[in-house]
């Protein structure tokens, strides 16, 4: 530990770092920063820097507001877009109580707890996210619009595609920061993009998703664009998802989902994991799809799942098993969207899978037919449930499931339910454009 600390201090000196941002994520998936100067770095690495937790939404009550940040030295990275001189670096932190115990409201700690449970069962978890987002124009006053450059480009005389340029810059920046980018491409909808980075250990990936969103937004801004991870910004075209490819490795590094001796080369462990995901999907939806808007994406017709089923072949169900085997044997969970808190979403999916393994939950047979063309009666006969249709339904499902609730612990659960119920109520009482269009002249 002393060696790692020294390495960070040396690196900071070598790279001329002047400012360090201590980062952590709140319950709702928002990245928070406390900036320090490099002179305070050593003290920070010793976990001696305090901040006022009561200023962070959903974090803590005022009477217990002193919190400590403990940086994870492995997360030290310099922001490549900032000037070389007086460089800016960041460290991702765990949040601790004044008495030195981990803070219950820290989502990173919630993920660590489930990862420890997996380890006890003999597994590490790998995650490979496919993060989609839109690049929108900003207006004359710099305010984001929902107009894409692709659309505007139709009338535009400039030969360059702003979006493509921005995406190239994002990829280069992420690579500078240690990401291994596997693919980056234009998505189905105008102005929509996807950048995929290589899978790794779940905690590292959750940290990376937070960094990814921050980098994409920052670079977009520098190109005069607004990047959004809102799940469904425009009605009538595809929304943005964040498919979560996941697998368990045994502690000696073998893929626990791969078994060449079975007909589909999936192990019993993989099957039980799928069984667990299917059993708990309706309850972890509140965490993988945590906004009112998330449920506007989970509708038929736009490649997003709305039914709880799995298949090796088609892309309509919640869970797809990509054809790759060997070390790449994995389960693709297709409902998460990039507005989720990645720590909580990954923790919940893992918990569901582990519950499947522990209790030997056999999944229903795979559904290789197109579920969208089935009637409700056919779905019922096959036992295919629907994902929650709204945040409200998702919250009720979450509350009724002790396994998924246990992922969050009391502190996060209470605040999450309270804030998200309020979010739903705000939406519920608002009069929306749709209503005015529909009823103003009708009645």
Catalytic residues: 52, 130, 132, 187, 194, 243, 315, 332, 334
Among ligand ADP, Mg ion, none, the one that 126 touches (CB under a kind-dependent 5 to 8 A) is ligand ADP
Which residue, 67 or 346, has its beta carbon nearer to ligand ADP?
346
Which residue, 13 or 324, has its beta carbon nearer to ligand ADP?
324
Which residue, 23 or 255, has its beta carbon nearer to ligand ADP?
255
Among the candidate windows 70-78, 80-88, 144-152, 243-251, which touches Mg ion by CB under 5 A?
243-251
- Taking CB under 5 A as the criterion, the residue among 106, 107, 112, 130 binding Mg ion is 130
Binding site for ligand ADP (CB under 6 A): 126-128, 130, 182-183, 196, 198-199, 243, 245-247, 255, 322, 327-328, 330, 332
CB 226 within 8 A of CB 138: yes
Among ligand ADP, Mg ion, none, the one that 151 touches (CB under a kind-dependent 5 to 8 A) is none
Which residue, 26 or 194, has its beta carbon nearer to Mg ion?
194
Residues 6+ apart with CB under 8 A from 280: 348, 351, 352, 355, 401, 403, 404
Q: What is the 3-state secondary structure (H, E, C) of the chain?
A: CHHHHHHHHHHHHHCCEEEEEEEEECCCCCEEEEEEEHHHHHHHHCCCEEEEHHHCCCCCCHHHCEEEEEECHHHCEECCCCCCCCEEEEEEEEEECCCCCECCCCHHHHHHHHHHHHHHCCEEEEEEEEEEEEEEEECCCCCEEEEEHHHHHCCCCCCCCHHHHHHHHHHHHHHHCCCCEEEEEECCCCCEEEEEECCEEHHHHHHHHHHHHHHHHHHHHHCCEEEECCCCCCCCCCCCCEEEEEEEEECCCCECCECCCCCCCECHHHHHHHHHHHHHHHHHHHHHCCCCCHHHHCCCCCCCCCEECEECCCCCCCEECCCCCHHHCCEEECCCCCCCCHHHHHHHHHHHHHHHHHCCCCCCCCCCCCHHHCCHHHHHHCCCEECCCCHHHHHHHHHCCHHHHHHHHHHHHHHHHHHHHHHHHHHHHCCCHHHHHHHCCCC
CB 162 within 8 A of CB 150: no
Minimum CB distance to ligand ADP, residue 253 (Å): 11
Which residue, 204 or 332, has its beta carbon nearer to ligand ADP?
332
Among ligand ADP, Mg ion, none, the one that 367 touches (CB under a kind-dependent 5 to 8 A) is none
Minimum CB distance to ligand ADP, residue 33 (Å): 27
Minimum CB distance to ligand ADP, residue 231 (Å): 17
Minimum CB distance to ligand ADP, residue 346 (Å): 11
- How large is the C-alpha radius of gyration of the chain? 22
Minimum CB distance to Mg ion, residue 416 (Å): 27
Among Mg ion, ligand ADP, none, the one that 247 touches (CB under a kind-dependent 5 to 8 A) is ligand ADP
Using CB under 5 A, count the residues that bind Mg ion.
3
How are beta strands 123-138 and 144-148 bridged, if at all?
A: antiparallel
> Rule CB under 5 A: is residue 355 a binding residue for Mg ion?
no
Minimum CB distance to Mg ion, residue 220 (Å): 18
Interface residues for Mg ion in 162-221 (CB under 5 A)?
194
Which residue, 337 or 355, has its beta carbon nearer to Mg ion?
337
Among ligand ADP, Mg ion, none, the one that 337 touches (CB under a kind-dependent 5 to 8 A) is none
> Rule CB under 5 A: is residue 243 a binding residue for Mg ion?
yes
Nearest residue to ligand ADP, using CB?
A: 128
Which residue, 78 or 195, has its beta carbon nearer to ligand ADP?
195
Among ligand ADP, Mg ion, none, the one that 207 touches (CB under a kind-dependent 5 to 8 A) is none
Binding residues for Mg ion, rule: CB under 5 A, are: 130, 194, 243
């Amino acid at each position: 530990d002393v060696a790692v600390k020294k390495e960070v201090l040396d690196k900071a000196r070598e790279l001329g770092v002047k400012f360090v941002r201590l980062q952590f994520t709140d319950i709702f998936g928002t990245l928070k920063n406390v900036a320090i100067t490099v002179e305070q770095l050593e003290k920070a690495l010793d976990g001696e820097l305090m901040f006022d937790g009561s200023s962070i939404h959903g974090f803590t009550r005022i009477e217990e507001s002193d919190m400590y940040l403990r940086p994870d030295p492995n997360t030290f990275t310099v922001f490549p877009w900032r000037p070389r001189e007086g460089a800016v670096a960041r460290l991702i932190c765990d949040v601790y109580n004044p008495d030195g115990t981990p803070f219950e409201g820290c989502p990173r700690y919630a993920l660590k707890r489930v990862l420890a449970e997996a380890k006890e069962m003999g597994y590490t978890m790998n995650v490979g996210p496919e993060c989609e987002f839109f690049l929108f124009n900003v207006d004359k006053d710099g305010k984001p619009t929902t107009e894409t450059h692709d659309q505007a480009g139709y009338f535009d005389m400039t030969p360059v595609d702003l979006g493509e340029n921005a995406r190239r810059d994002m990829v280069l920046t992420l690579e500078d920061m240690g990401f291994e980018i596997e693919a980056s491409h234009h998505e189905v909808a105008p102005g929509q993009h996807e950048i995929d980075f290589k899978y790794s250990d779940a905690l590292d990936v959750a940290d990376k998703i937070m960094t990814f969103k921050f980098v994409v937004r920052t670079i977009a801004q520098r190109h005069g664009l607004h990047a959004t991870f809102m799940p469904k910004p425009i009605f009538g075209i595809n929304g943005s998802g964040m498919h979560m490819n996941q697998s368990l490795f045994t502690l000696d590094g073998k893929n626990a989902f791969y078994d060449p001796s079975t007909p589909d080369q999936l192990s019993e462990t993989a099957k039980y994991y799928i069984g667990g995901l299917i059993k708990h999907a309706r309850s972890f939806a509140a965490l993988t799809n945590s906004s009112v808007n998330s449920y506007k994406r989970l509708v038929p017709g736009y490649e997003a799942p709305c039914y709880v089923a799995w298949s090796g072949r088609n892309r309509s169900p919640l869970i797809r098993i990509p054809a790759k085997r060997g070390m790449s044997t994995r389960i693709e969970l297709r409902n998460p969207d990039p507005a989720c808190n990645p720590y909580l979403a990954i923790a919940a999916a893992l918990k569901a899978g582990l519950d499947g393994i522990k209790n030997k939950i056999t999944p229903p047979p795979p559904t290789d037919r197109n579920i969208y063309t089935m009637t409700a009666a056919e779905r019922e006969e096959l036992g295919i449930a629907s994902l929650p249709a709204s945040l409200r339904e998702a919250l009720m499902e979450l509350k009724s499931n002790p396994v998924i609730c246990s992922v969050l612990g009391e502190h996060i659960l209470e605040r999450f339910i309270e804030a998200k119920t309020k979010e739903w109520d705000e939406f519920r009482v608002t009069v929306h454009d749709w209503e005015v269009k529909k009823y103003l002249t009708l009645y």
